[in-house]
């Protein structure tokens, strides 16, 4: 009977102790094989090209190229690699960014040995594993109401940006080469969508909520 080849794993973490702990963990399973370690994102990308691992255990918060950027870069050159985000952080934005970058799974570093080994096996088969906190973050991201100004058109955003620069309607019309009445319509729509009644309120909200660059 032919023995199945072990799953080749690359560890990426900027902490020596974490890498050492994961190395010991991998050695306890005959079907998991450590093929390399990286201490930063740049090194991780190079090693993935050289070693062609099956699964990467990716820390997300690292100096230089972080785990999200490393995930995106690795999948750009090694699209078949499966990346598990393994981190101490459960912030909603980080969960979203990691999964959007292409990570197949998101786990916290307090995960049990059995759960992590099973997550590696699942990832190798193309199946996702999410920490409960990551699942909750995704649910909240889907169900939370859209942010202020989400319904502004591109032109209205442009007009709002020029309003924050202190331009009058006539100055905005000249800058955008549109009629004065068209600008007035855009401003009226902006007021309605932001729930304000004056330019001062609109500009204040735009600045406070970073609605414009």
Claim to verify: residue 133 and residue 161 sit in the same structural domain: no
Q: Model confidence over 146-176: pLDDT tens digits?
A: 778 888 999 999 999 999 999 999 999 999 9
202 vs 137, more confident: 202
Greater model confidence, 149 or 13: 13
CB 167 within 8 A of CB 175: yes
Q: How far apart are CA 164 and CA 171, in angstroms?
A: 13
- Residue 107 located in a structural domain: yes
Same-domain status, 139 and 183: no
Task: For tokens 């080849």, name the residue.
Answer: 5
pLDDT value of residue 68: 96
Query: Which of 119, 143, 167 is at the close of a domain?
Result: 143
Tell me the average pLDDT across 47-64. 96
Distance CA 197, CA 188 (A): 9
Q: Are residues 129 and 189 in the same domain?
A: no
Residue % of the chain over a pLDDT of 70: 97
β-pairing verdict for 82-87 and 7-12 = unpaired
pLDDT at position 90 is 84
Q: Are 124 and 54 in contact (CB under 8 A)?
A: yes
**Tokens 């909200």 found at:** 205
Contact 104, 134 (CB under 8 A): no
Count up the domains in the chain and report the number. Answer: 2
Phi-psi region of 160 (alpha: psi -120 to 50; beta: other; left: phi over 0): alpha
Residue 181: how many CA atoms within 13 Å on its side-chain side?
0
Does residue 149 lie within any of the structural domains? no
Structural domain span for residue 190: 154-208
CATH number, domain at 165? 1.10.10.10
The verdict on 30 and 125 lying in the same domain is yes
pLDDT digits (tens, 9 = 90+) for 62-112: 999 999 999 999 999 999 999 999 999 888 889 989 999 999 999 999 999
Q: What is the pLDDT of residue 144?
A: 64
């Amino acid at each position: 009977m032919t023995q199945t080849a072990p799953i080749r794993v690359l560890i990426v973490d900027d902490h020596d102790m974490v890498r050492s702990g994961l190395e010991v963990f991998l050695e306890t399973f005959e079907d998991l094989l450590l093929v390399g370690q990286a201490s930063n994102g740049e090194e991780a990308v190079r090693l993935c090209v050289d070693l062609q691992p099956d699964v990467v255990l990716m820390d997300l918060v690292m100096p230089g190229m972080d785990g999200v950027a490393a995930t995106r870069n690795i999948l750009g050159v090694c699209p078949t690699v499966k990346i598990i985000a393994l981190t101490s952080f459960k912030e909603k934005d980080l969960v979203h960014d990691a999964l959007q970058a292409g990570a197949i799974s998101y786990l916290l570093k307090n995960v049990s040995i059995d759960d992590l080994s099973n997550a590696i096996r699942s990832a190798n088969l193309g199946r996702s594993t999410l920490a409960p906190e990551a699942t909750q973050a995704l649910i909240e991201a889907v169900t939370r109401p859209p942010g202020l100004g989400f319904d502004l058109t591109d032109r209205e955003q442009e007009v709002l940006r020029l309003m924050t620069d202190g331009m009058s309607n006539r100055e905005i019309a000249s800058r955008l080469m549109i009629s004065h009445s068209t600008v007035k319509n855009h401003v009226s729509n902006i007021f309605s969508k932001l729930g304000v009644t004056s330019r001062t309120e609109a500009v204040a909200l735009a600045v406070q909520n970073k609605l414009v660059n």
